[in-house]
Amino acid sequence: MDKIDSILDSNVIKQTKNYIEELESLVPSKSDRFKFKIRVPLNITLLTITLVLLLHTAYILYYSDKIIPGIKIANVSVGGLTYDLAKSKLQDNIAKGDTELVFTNGIDLHVTSLDKLGVTYNLDAALLDAFNKGRSAGIISNFYTGFRTLFVSSNIELAYTYNSGSLDSFISSITGANNHSSKDATFVIRETGLEITSSAEGLVVDSPKLREQVLEKIKTQDFTLQTLPVKEERPNAYTQDLLLIKDVVAQIIYNPLTLDHKDTQITLK
């Protein structure tokens, strides 16, 4: 019995050791655990990239002949439309919209129109730009653009041409009707003495700024009433400036200057 017990005990010990060894084999080593830690994030990253590529491919295929969502041209939504439909929509919007540019000084109105200024919009250039959104860059950049425009719209400005001479004439007509130029103080010689005409500050239309406003309105198709930009114009000589030298000038003017030249006297009046 003792021998049997000893054999049984030895078998139990062996089985226990074998069991422990099997359990230990199931527990990953430090190097295996490290590899596992790297492998899991890597697999997740690869899976994410694959999903992004698949979604982007499906997105591009669906909008292969359409402008991606969220795109506007001159604030007109053209997302999801084909090139021809988008062009037709822009043409209708221009034809039905107001085409007059109106400026006011607070009393009078100054009006012109896109036709008078010879304005022509380049729809094809804007449409080509719109159609290339989400297509012309790299895969990641294209995906980002397409995803972003789903939530934040992207507006494309309309390129245009105009007649510079017609715009100059329109601005000249406005400045001619509204400019109140400054007046310099001047001396006036009277028999009774020297007088000074008063200076006056002026108020004139800011022509460069007006030009910028007209072009901005054409670009954005903004036909709301606009107040004329004005600026103060200061005189070169103020009344108080001439008052400082009035007595000196009067002394010269009203007191003849006599010059002796040999035996001749010359009087300057």
Residue 18's φ and ψ, nearest 5 degrees, are -60, -40
CA dihedral 165, 73, 132, 45 (to 10 degrees): 140
Q: How far is CA 191 from CA 194, 239, 267, in A?
A: 8, 21, 19
**184, amino acid identity:** D
pLDDT in tens, 209-251: 999 999 999 988 888 999 999 888 777 766 677 667 666 666 6
Question: Residue 213 gets which letter from DSSP?
Answer: H
Predicted confidence at residue 65, as pLDDT, reads: 84
Q: What is the pLDDT confidence band of residue 29, given thresholds at 50, 70 and 90?
A: low
E-state strands within the chain: 71-73, 76-77, 100-104, 109-113, 120-122, 154-156, 159-161, 186-190, 193-197, 202-205, 226-227, 230-233, 257-261, 264-268
**Closest by CA position to 56, among listed 139, 177, 158:** 139
Predicted confidence at residue 150, as pLDDT, reads: 72
Q: What is the mean pLDDT of residues 87-104?
A: 87
pTM of this structure: 0.58
Rounded Cα gap, residues 73 and 68, in angstroms = 13
pLDDT in tens, 115-145: 999 999 999 999 998 888 877 766 667 767 7
**Closest by CA position to 215, among listed 163, 172, 179:** 163
pLDDT at 267 over 60: no
More confident site: 5 or 232: 232
Length of the chain: 269
Q: What is the pLDDT confidence band of residue 2, given thresholds at 50, 70 and 90?
A: very low
The residue extents of the domains of the chain are 1-62, 63-268
Least reliable range by pLDDT among 32-46, 102-116, 136-150: 32-46
Burial class (CB in 10 A: 0-12, 13-18, 19+), 81: buried
Q: How far is CA 50 from CA 5, 125, 182, 221, in A?
A: 63, 34, 72, 44
pLDDT at 9 over 80: no
pLDDT in tens, 161-204: 999 999 999 999 999 888 776 677 676 767 666 776 766 677 78
pLDDT at 88 over 50: yes
Q: How far is CA 80 from CA 56, 59, 66, in A?
A: 16, 12, 5
pLDDT averaged over every residue in the chain: 76
Tokens matching residue 165: 């001479």
Predicted confidence at residue 35, as pLDDT, reads: 47
More confident site: 86 or 43: 86
Percent of the chain residues past pLDDT 90, beyond the cut: 27
